[in-house]
Amino acid sequence: MLTRIDHIGIACHDLDATVEFYRATYGFEVFHTEVNEEQGVREAMLKINETSDGGASYLQLLEPIREDSTVAKWLAKNGEGVHHIAFGTADVDADSEEIRGKGVRVLYEQPRRGSMGSRITFLHPKDCHGVLTELVTSAPVESPEH
């Protein structure tokens, strides 16, 4: 089942300025950046720490690249701030099915590609006490070549 807090997603209007705030204020550095065309966002993952299951915990900063993206609509309604919480799991497919069986709406029929090659799905916030919840199976960590 769920093993850790994978990340906290924070919606922002200006990714570069928000990254600079977290760097200058807390010393967090960017671990990974990418544009996710499917979700309509440009994102930066700021690594907070390693975890005992071999994963890590991050802040995920999200800037919309299209006005019709979910994050853009959320920003227009709510302003900048915490957008979602993500829990790590070894098996997003099995865990999302188990949670679906408990009456929680899973937003994707099949998990999709997420940050850094992960597999993700979301749980409906109305079924999770107002919190948009993401389930994440990290991509396998590649072994260093010897």
**Could you say which of 39, 63, 83, 84 is catalytic?**
84
Judged by DSSP in three states, 40 sits in: coil
Catalytic residue among 39, 43, 63, 83: 43
The two structure tokens encoding residue 123:
């749980």
7 is catalytic: yes
Is 145 in the active site? no
Distance CA 71, CA 74 (A): 5
Q: Which residues contact 85 (CB under 8 A, 6 or more apart)?
A: 5, 7, 8, 9, 131, 132, 133, 134
Task: Give which of 55, 56, 76 is closest to 64, Cα–Cα.
Answer: 76
7, 39, 63, 83: which is the annotated catalytic residue? 7
Marked catalytic residue, from 39, 63, 83, 134: 134
Strands of 1-146 (E only): list them.
Answer: 2-11, 30-36, 41-50, 56-64, 81-89, 112-113, 119-123, 133-137
Q: Which of 39, 60, 63, 83 is catalytic?
A: 60
Q: Are 87 and 6 in contact (CB under 8 A)?
A: yes
Active site residue 84: yes
Catalytic residues: 7, 43, 60, 84, 134
